[in-house]
Every structure is written in C-alpha cells, then in structure tokens.
Amino acid sequence: MAGRLLKVSCLATAVFTSSGFYLYNRRLDLNDLSVIRFGRAAATTAAISYDYLTAFKHVEYGTEEYWALKSKVHLRSAERLRDLCCANRGTFIKVGQHLGALDYLLPEEYTSTLKVLHSRAPQSSMEEIQQVIREDLGKELSELFVSFEEKPQGAASLAQVHKAVLHDGRTVAVKVQHPKVQRQSSKDIVVMEVPMIHWHLSTKRILTMEFAEGGQVNDRDYMKEHGINVNEISENLGKMYSEMIFVHGFVHCDPHPGNVLVRKCPQNRKTEIVLLDHGLYQVLQPDFRLDYCRLWQALIKSDISGVERYSRRLGAGDLYPLFACVLTARSWTAINAGISSAPVTHSEDVEIRTNAALYLPQISELLNRVPRQMLLLLKTNDLLRGIETTLQTRASSSSFINMSRCCIQAMARHKRSKAQSMRRCLQITLAESLNLWKLTMYELFLWVKGSSLVQWLTALLAFLH
C-alpha cells in the first residue's frame, strides 16, 4: 500500500524532476542557477519518496492511526512541493498552480496547500518593483501615479499585479515582471478586448491595464454575496471554452482560478466571466481540431468504435481507453454507459483517484505519444474539471451537452467550407439545425427526468398503486 501511495506522490514530483532534467540538459551554466534548481527538485523528490516508503512500516493498514498518518504524509509532501515551487519560481509555480486545481484527482492535502500559488505566489519587494519601474519608465512612482498599493492584488509565476490610480483619476492594474525573470520572449503579446492597455506606462517588463473587478471563479462565498448563480457560471465557462476549442481553435490555456474572475456587470447586472493573463494560447491545427471534435462526439454518443478510431488518429494508439478516461475525467464504465447521461458519483471519483496512481507508467507513455498541442488541451481540461469540482457542479451533464453543441456547429462549418453548391450548403445547414434541435430536446428530457416534479409524480403513482 505504501508503494501505491508513493505513486500518488510521484504524480506531482515527477513533473518537477522532468523540469529539472530539462533545465540541466539545456543549460549547465552555474550563473543561471539551473543546477541549483535541479538539485532542489531532486532533493524534494527524494525526501517525498523516502517519507512515503518509510512512514507506514509499523502501522497497520486500514486503522484510524493509518489514515491519520496518511493525511500527515500527504500534507508534508504537499508543503515540500509548495516550498520547491516558491524557491524555483517560474515554470515550477506554473506546474504547482496546475496541480493545485486538480481537486477531482489529487488528495485534498495537496490541492489545498498548492492553491495558494494561484494568487499568492512569492512576491518581489516594493524596492524591487520600484527599481523595475524606475529603469523601464524613467520616473518615480509618485510622478506616474496618484496612489500605488504596496500590497499586490496577486503574485504569479512571472509577475505581480498592483492596483494604482493615474493622475487623471482612472484606476489601473500595473503588472510588473519579477526582476529575475529572463527578458527574452519568443512570442508577441496578443491584445484582446478587456483589459485596455495603457501603452505609455507599459514596457517589456511592465504592463499597465484597465483594472478588472471581480471574485475568483472558485470563490463560492463571493458568488453568494453578489447573487451570482454557481450553476450559471459553470455552464457559461464550459460554453466559452467549448466554443474556443471546437469552433475557433484558439484556446486560452491557463484557466486556473487566479486567471478567471466572475462579476456582475455594473451596467446591466448580468453575470460576466473575465479571463486574465493572455500569455498562453494554443492555435489548433484544422485537422487536429476536427478529429478532436469527432472524438468528443463519439464520447458523448457512447460510440466506442468512434472513440477508438479518433483516439488512434490523435496518437493514443492501443491506450485509447486510458486516453478517453484522462480526457473526460470519467471511468471507462461511465464512458461506455454515456457520459452525458450518467452523473458523476462518489464511487466513480474514488475509482478515478485509485487508477491515477495505478496507471502512472501508462499515463506517462500516453503523454509522450499525443501531439504537443494535446498536452495544453489536457491541462485546460484538468483545470476546468477542477473548477467544476470546487463549485460542486461536476455531476451535471450540461458541460458535455454544450461540447456536443459546439462540435455540431464546428463540423457543419467545416462541411460548408468544402461544399461546391448552394444546395449542398442548405442540406448541411438543415442537418445542423435538426441535430441542434435533437440535442435541445435531449437536454430538456434530462431536465424533466431530474426535476422534483417528476419525482413527486412517480412517488404519487407508486402510492396509488
């Protein structure tokens, strides 16, 4: 049993070991501290592994003492990982943020400990922030801002954000890169609507933007206080990412809770979702995106032959059942039964957590097989499932139905682009409308099936008979 627990811990630590080797192979420059970072990662991995191997030697499995000790070992290991992330910063914090969002997969001791990295990563001092602003903008804080809050709104892997007020009265968010972050960057920043950039107060290391109010997407207390419907947020988040992935193929790949805010629009009081940090996007290749659409359609329809066919086309090979489980965060039994109709149960969650530990070698092999753009989609899926778990909306089938709706629209758009006549375009559009109508009827059926009215009528009929 200790060996199995060790595998669970290595699900987290192996990632850091890989990062360490990567840094070690890329650069053996002591001035860049790669060797030191690798040494920290290796030492942390060794300490965690030794703890799991030795802690349970004299404790009988299944006793109260065993479960209490198991929780303590999980917590110690999680704290070691958190300290490693804080010490190595950069990519290590990104990985820690990802692990902290996997509520449905990792033990609670890990996720609760690593969640602090979503918005409270290691901070640069105010002196360091002032120095970066002085170097890049050539002025002191008082010359640029009426006020500049010393305590950051949030600190992430590469930068931290401070709330400030310009001399014209506008409130802004000033994102300042940590001084030790390397300046080089291989990609341009893609500017999107919300937030507005104040270019005269921005450089390669400083980004001054419109300040976006709101609470984190996993803050249920904030939503309750502001009258925000949790189920509506979960459903709209799923719709938004489904449309990005399946229809447009242009995907924000870092939706951890610190990067997703929710709020009531001041003008119309409608609920809004605000995406922050647009530094990590994936543009999906058309053929890949269409095969991914077809795979999800097969998963939703419980078309196992289709699941195998399109999983193989996406590189999973004979590991297609495992690929389907990793992609949906559902058990193979649930996939065969129909993920859009079978709700997530506690026993299934236990099965998923257990299998995650048992199949680590196969999972590692699978991740090495699939295209690199699939890795970012899997990361995105993990984070979205984690948010659903935190909001307690994961048992709902609405996310899969919304995926199906976007898949139908994406496939119809593709077919229309290949059509050679208006008649064929009309046929495709009519077929699309019919499939969307069928999906709406199915969604209505599931709603009626699960409504309290039907349960009451069923009980009444049973009583009368």
41: its two tokens: 């990662």
pLDDT recorded at residue 29: 39
Residue 318 annotated among the catalytic residues of the structure: no
> Which of 180, 210, 240 is at the close of a domain?
210
Residues 165 and 196 in one domain: yes
Residues 199 and 273 in one domain: no
Residues 234 and 185 in one domain: no
Report the pLDDT averaged over residues 91-116: 76
Most confident of 64-78, 267-281, 353-367, 430-444: 64-78
Q: For the full predicted model, state whether its pTM sits above 0.75.
A: no
Position 406 in a domain: no
pLDDT recorded at residue 26: 33
Active-site option among 51, 103, 219, 254: 254
High-pLDDT (> 70) share of the chain, %: 80
Nearest CA-CA partner of 243 in 396, 438, 399: 399
pLDDT recorded at residue 149: 92
pLDDT recorded at residue 180: 63
pLDDT recorded at residue 321: 92
Residues 350 and 424 in one domain: no
Residue 434: C-alpha distances to residues 51, 341, 420 (Å)? 58, 20, 22
Position 34 in a domain: yes
Residues 108 and 182 in one domain: no
Residues 163 and 241 in one domain: no
pLDDT recorded at residue 104: 64
Instruction: Say if residues 118 and 157 touch (Cβ distance below 8 Å).
Output: no
> Which of 67, 89, 116 is at the close of a domain?
116
Residues 268 and 384 in one domain: yes
Half-sphere exposure of 280 (CA within 13 A, CB side): 16
Render pLDDT for 367-410 as a digit per residue (tens, 0 to 9). 888 888 888 888 888 778 878 878 877 655 567 778 888 889 99
Position 412 in a domain: no
Report the pLDDT averaged over residues 251-256: 80
Position 264 in a domain: yes
Position 351 in a domain: yes
pLDDT recorded at residue 218: 85
pLDDT recorded at residue 32: 45
pLDDT recorded at residue 360: 73
Q: What is the CATH number of the domain that holds 176?
A: 3.30.200
> Which of 116, 139, 172 is at the close of a domain?
116
Residues 230 and 274 in one domain: yes
For residue 206, the enclosing domain spans 126-210
Residues 381 and 253 in one domain: yes
Residues 263 and 366 in one domain: yes
Residues 433 and 312 in one domain: no
Position 404 in a domain: no
pLDDT recorded at residue 192: 33
pLDDT at 312 over 80: yes
Most confident of 202-206, 313-317, 447-451: 313-317
Q: What is the total count of domains within the chain?
A: 4
Residues 340 and 225 in one domain: yes
pLDDT at 74 over 80: yes
Average pLDDT along the chain: 78
Position 409 in a domain: no
Strands 159-166 and 171-177: antiparallel
Render pLDDT for 332-374 as a digit per residue (tens, 0 to 9). 888 888 776 667 777 777 777 777 767 777 887 888 888 888 8
Render pLDDT for 264-286 as a digit per residue (tens, 0 to 9). 887 777 888 888 877 778 888 98
Position 92 in a domain: yes
Report the pLDDT averaged over residues 10-24: 30
**Per the omega criterion (within 30 degrees of 0), is the bond before 321 cis?**
no
Q: CA-to-CA distance for 350 and 355, rounded, in angstroms?
A: 9
